[in-house]
Chain A
Amino acid sequence: MIEVNNITKKFGRKQVLKGVTFTAEKGEITCLIGINGVGKTTILNAIMALTPIKKGEILIDGEKLKPKTFNHITFIPDAITVLPQMTITESMQFMKDYYTTWNEERAQELLSFFKLNPEDKIASLSKGNTAKANLLLGLALDVDYILMDEPFSGIDMFSREQIANVFTSHLIEDRGVIITTHEIGDIEHLIDKVVLLDDGVVKKHFYTEEVREAEGKSVIDVMREEYQG
């Protein structure tokens, strides 16, 4: 389980996170929702120790993040994290060289799932294919947790569908996922838990199934209630 406990963060004088607390369990897809600038990406960065937090604590399976933890958790940011001059094959080799949890079989499976040409250079890929290659590099790791930042941002409809299909496949099964997205419509039916962020705090968190069954509301209905009053 990923535990985010009362974290605070300032950028200059602006207090972006004012005590955010939530958990994300293994085998569940947790979606962080909020308007731009609310601190969704900052939370993911903080979980991966890519930005310091002022206060609070983040635990992964009860422990603070250590170098070895990166073999058990991966972050797929909204831009690809390998060098643009690398080919897809080279970037896969790079990952294989450093991560003991790299699963070559799954990488090959993802390559054909996304219909990517392994000899293409990252710099020459379309936005949609770059997003897919980025996803491939993260999903081919046998990790317990996957963090994804806006995986649908700015890409075409067909690529979005293809990426959304990943969530219903065995590629995600049993893993804990934290995802941030604006395009909630694409994955609303796939997410288990929602964390609504507003003004630096968690405004509401709920299980989608419970709200659907008990109140007959979709995630978008709840968002409208919470954000538009």
Chain B
Amino acid sequence: MKSYFRLTEFELGRFFKFYLVLIGLTIVSQIIGVIAVSKEYMQEANEAIYQDGLSKQAFMDQRGLISLLDWTNSIWFLAPIALCVVTLLIYMFFIWYRDWLGKNTFIYRLLMLPTQRIHLFFAKATTIFIMVLGLVALQVFLIYIAGIVLEWMVPNEFMQTMGVSEVSVASQYVNTILPATFTEFVLYYGTGFMFVCIFFTAILIERSYRWKGLLFAIGYVAVATAVFMSLIFLSMEWGLFSLYPLEWLILQIIIGIIVTASSIFLSYYLLTKKITV
């Protein structure tokens, strides 16, 4: 267990500088974004009121009040999120391949550590997960800060005040990364963790069987995804089940746990018996 924590800390350290850059870019882009969106709104308001002679109320009726949703729908808000998502998706592969690629023979050392090799799997998965949760936490903080900045920039009468949870409910984008309820949060990120396990297993299949393994790996991702989605196919497409929502949810969770456990078990087998440097 000690080795697992050490390995996790080590893996976090290996990506930390790059991660700080992602955090920096997100902060800068989103803070500039809330300022830009506010300024744009105020410029529109000034033009309408002082140049076109519209009353404040007429402008507000016509344009609507400004809220954090104007910001969350802007490119300033969405671009850094997209960048973080893409970077972490790429890193999900790179976190393994970097130990094999080029002249790097670090995988020799990792596989020769006097610890269960599955700890490598868990350490790398935990690293990805911590980084994702870290960015989600940053997003919550930034929505809160953006609310304050918006209050500074725009007079209250033009503004519809929203808290983090209200933004989460109202914005489809925010809701995707920050579900409104804790249950949804666990389900969304649990599914995310399952897919990390599936992709890690696929990588280990490829690393164990190389070219032949690439086909097996693609096949494994397809089969695991199909199994996870099977309930949806069966109930929605063919109407084979008529389940209450709670029953459906419990069954879906059980399938998810089975797929995750199978991936971990297969990875354990590959790391112990089949992996090749």
| Chain A contact residues, CB within 8 Å of chain B | 45, 48-52, 67-71, 74-75, 77, 79-84, 94, 97-100
Contacts and interface: CB of A to CB of B under 8 A. Distances in A.
A62 B273 CA distance: 19
Given A49-B111, A83-B104, A98-B115, 4 more contacts: A45-B277, A52-B273, A77-B105, A81-B109
A83 B108 contact: no
A79 B113 CA distance: 17
A75 B115 contact: no
B114 interface: yes
A189 to B, nearest CB: 30
B108 A71 contact: no
Given A48-B112, A70-B113, A71-B114, A79 B276 contact: no
A68 B103 CA distance: 28
Interface string B203-217: 000001000000000
A49 to B, nearest CB: 7
Nearest to A85: B14
Contacts of B108: 50, 75, 77, 81
B114 A74 contact: no
Contacts of B106: 81-83
B112 A50 contact: yes
Contact of B274 (A52, A80, A81, A98): A52
Contacts of A52: 208, 273-276
26 contacts: A45-B277, A50-B108, A50-B275, A52-B273, A52-B274, A52-B275, A52-B276, A67-B117, A69-B114, A70-B113, A70-B114, A74-B112, A77-B105, A77-B108, A79-B103, A81-B108, A81-B109, A82-B106, A83-B14, A83-B106, A84-B104, A97-B6, A98-B113, A98-B114, A99-B114, A100-B114
Nearest to B108: A81
B3 interface: yes
B74 interface: no
Interface in B248-277: 272-277
B124 to A, nearest CB: 15
Interface of B: 3, 6, 10, 14, 103-106, 108-109, 111-117, 208, 272-277
Contacts of B113: 67, 70, 98-99
B154 to A, nearest CB: 47
B114 A80 contact: no
A79 B274 CA distance: 22
B111 A98 contact: no
A68 B114 contact: yes
Nearest to B209: A52
Contacts of B208: 52
Given A67-B117, A74-B112, A51 B276 contact: yes
A58 to B, nearest CB: 13
Contacts of B112: 48, 50, 70, 74-75, 81
A80 B277 contact: no
Contacts of B116: 67
Task: In the A-B complex, list the 3 residue pairs whose CB atoms are closest, starting with the nearest.
Answer: A81-B109, A70-B114, A81-B108
A67 B6 contact: no
Given A52-B276, A97-B6, A81 B114 contact: no
A98 B117 CA distance: 13
B274 A67 contact: no
Nearest to A74: B112
B272 to A, nearest CB: 8
Contact of A50 (B10, B114, B115, B277): B277
A75 B277 CA distance: 13
B175 to A, nearest CB: 40
B111 to A, nearest CB: 6
Contacts of B104: 83-84
Contacts of A79: 103, 105
Given A50-B276, A50-B277, A67 B115 contact: yes
